[in-house]
Amino acid sequence: MSALLEALEAEGEASGLDISSEDISGADLSSCIIRDCTISSSVFSSASFHNAALTDVTIESCDLSSADFSNVSLLRVIIRNSKLSGASFAESRIRNLVIEDCVGLYTTFDSSFLKNVSISNSDFSESSFSECRTEGLSIVSSSLVRTSFRGTPLLSVGLDSSDMEGIILSENLKELRGARLDVAQAISIVRTAGAVID
């Protein structure tokens, strides 16, 4: 049996584990508690972490495609060099999260609270950060092509050197009030709104 599943069944939580090369695709890990763990080179595609709590967890070189992290609590979690495409982090409370060098196409963070979240060198094209509350969200040097920020104010969101072509906003572009954009980002958004730039 998987070391992670064994710990969860025996103790009700996984703590202090170094987990590597496990395949728990499709597993139901709803409401689990994972803390002080390192998880590497493992597959959790389509697994359910609904209502789970992850604290002080590092995830590296893992496949989390289409995993369900809805309504989770993430605190001091690092995700590096991993696949997140199709994963859902909707309606979650996320604090001190670092995502680096990841592919997260079609990922959703809708209606989540994001505090001190840093995303860098990652591809979150065609994803959704709609209706989020943010305190210190930074998405740097990443692809946000056709990604939705509808209903999420960008005033305090750092978007340095990120590709925002075709991003989805409200019709009145209210999300942009006070936002700091570079010239390329501003031109891209204006074009998306239908303006012609000579």
Mean pLDDT by 10 residues, the chain (198 residues): 87 93 95 97 97 98 98 98 98 98 98 98 98 95 96 89 91 81 74 58
Please give the pLDDT value at position 101.
98
Please give the pLDDT value at position 192.
66
Please give the pLDDT value at position 10.
86
Please give the pLDDT value at position 180.
77
Query: Alpha-carbon distance 66 to 125, whole Å?
Result: 15
The DSSP annotation for 35-60 comes to EEEEEES-B-TT-B-TT-EEEEEEEE
Domains observed in the chain? 3-192 (2.160.20)
Please give the pLDDT value at position 174.
86
Tokens of 95: 């604090």
Please give the pLDDT value at position 194.
60
Tokens of 156: 């305090």
| DSSP three-state, residue 82 | coil
Query: What's the pTM?
Result: 0.91
